[in-house]
Amino acid sequence: MTSTITFGAAPLTLQQIYRIAKGSVTIELAQAPKFKARIEAGRAVIDQVLANDGVIYGVTTGYGDSCTQHIAAEHWQQLPVNLTRFHGCGLGDLFDAEETRAIIAARLCSLCQGYSGVSYALLEALAALLQHDILPQIPKEGSVGASGDLTPLSYIAGALIGERQVRFNGELMPAEQAFKAAGLPVYRLKPKEALALMNGTAAMTGLACLAWCRADYLAKVSARITALAVVGANGNPYHFDEQLFQVKPHVGQQQVARAIANDLNHTEAKQNAARLQDRYSLRCAPHIIGALVDALPFLQHTIENELNSANDNPIVDPDSQRILHGGHFYGGHIAMAMDMLKTQVANLADLHDRQMALLLDPKTNHGLPANLSGARGTEHGLHHGFKAVQIGCSAWAAEALKLTMPASVFSRSTECHNQDKVSMGTIAARDALRVLELTEQVAVATLLAAWQSTELRKQQSGQLVSASAQLESLRQYVAAHFQFVEMDRALDTDLRTWLLHLREERIPV
């Protein structure tokens, strides 16, 4: 049975945003009278200030450096529409369906905090996008991450008023047409509502939720790949001994070492007297994967704090009835989190690239055929196994490593020097997702090569003395979906298939 996630009832987790993005849950907006009253109280503050001829940034003034421009009352309704229009300058590829759902969900979550001066009707309109899967077409490029994700989020605001393209029921169409087909009205923005929609960190935060969940699963897969590689390389299982890791007690590192040790059945394995120490890509895997695992709780706290925050400007406090002008749209925390995450994930790409190299090289794989070729007899020299796949891994790993330059330090003064220090958080989040994509490619290639190495080792010795029941279960899963590489064949289709296995979290961990 599909579960339902309620916006406005309680803080949301990044795992919930991930499930919304995957389309595996339904969503609803809280109906509690107390919640509705709080939202409308913020809206009432705006209306009261305007009724008293007060000044509100972005309502009675122009935007950004143009805040000194006075906007007459007869233009207050047109101003938010114009904001959505002039920010329609995004370029690059479009965010995919999962990314778009995550972005919408992140914006709705922030507005539900009740500090943005919007109406309950606007929350209903945003929720309807998710409920009917009406997905604005949002270009990826054009945000500096402060004043929030103005340009990407303008495509959501523009879609709500019927002026942008959306994808609905698998077809690209004008937003107004999609709303009509879904039986929904086009939304009419009230003063400040376009600013509340756009002047926040939803794009980077939604992407960060996706990146964190993918990294969390990838870390588990990486530990399992490492165990498989140790078996294939006839490595030393005692490198992962629990007592060894008690003296360097990083919790994540200990978790990874324990997982690998369990996979290797290490308490029953025999010490390899001829080789006390394996190369670092095997021996130090817990220290490499563990650094990411230890970072994940901190990153989760940071991302969820941003997700459940009011991050637009100005802030409207319905309790004190004050309008507070500040800079909560600044995406510095998400920028930091994504710069950290992408660096740790890229380390996994580098780790598995080195494991692949170890397994393919007869000088380091301890008796396996060159390139893990499964060909036999006189045709052995005709076939090259995983040789080209290793070249691909080197390319993917290199690109991932190149992208680890921190985006957050590349601030550029813009918008007449009003936005003179910006976060680049959305670029950092996009980088993190690209690093994940590349690292996943290296991971699935190494998984298949490691499995091939265990098959070759089994052919040599008749059994895999180190493999536990859970690791044997993984081997059987791979065998059910991948054909042993005996004669040369193109492996791109296999690799793409296994990327789906990984991204749909079907690989047993």
Catalytic residues, by residue number, are 57
Cα distance between residue 155 and residue 91, in whole Å: 12
Least Cα distance to 18 among 145, 219, 208, 170 occurs for 208
Q: Which DSSP category does 219 fall into? A: H
Q: Which DSSP category does 12 fall into? A: P
SS3 315: strand
> Angle formed by the axes of helices 425-461 and 202-232, to 10°?
20
Q: Which DSSP category does 61 fall into? A: B
**Where are the extended beta strands (E) located within 42-117?**
91-94
Least Cα distance to 330 among 152, 211, 205 occurs for 205
The tokens describing 6, both together, are: 């309620």
Cα distance between residue 328 and residue 334, in whole Å: 12
Q: Omega before 406 cis (within 30°)?
A: no
Q: Look up residue 33 and give its amino acid.
A: P
Cα distance between residue 261 and residue 245, in whole Å: 11
Question: 172: how many CB neighbours lie within 10 A of its CB?
Answer: 11
Question: 210: how many CB neighbours lie within 10 A of its CB?
Answer: 23
Question: With left for phi above 0 and alpha for psi between -120 and 50, is residue 54 left, alpha or beta?
Answer: beta
3-class SS letters over 473-500: HHHHHHHHHCCCCCCCCCCHHHHHHHHH
Cα angle vertex 410, ends 405, 411, to 5°?
155
Cα distance between residue 239 and residue 236, in whole Å: 6
Contact 360, 386 (CB under 8 A): yes
- 247-to-106, 118, 291, 428 alpha-carbon distances in Å: 41, 54, 16, 35
Q: Which residues of 312-327 are buried (b: 16+ CB within 10 A; e: fewer)?
A: bbbbbbbeeeebeeee
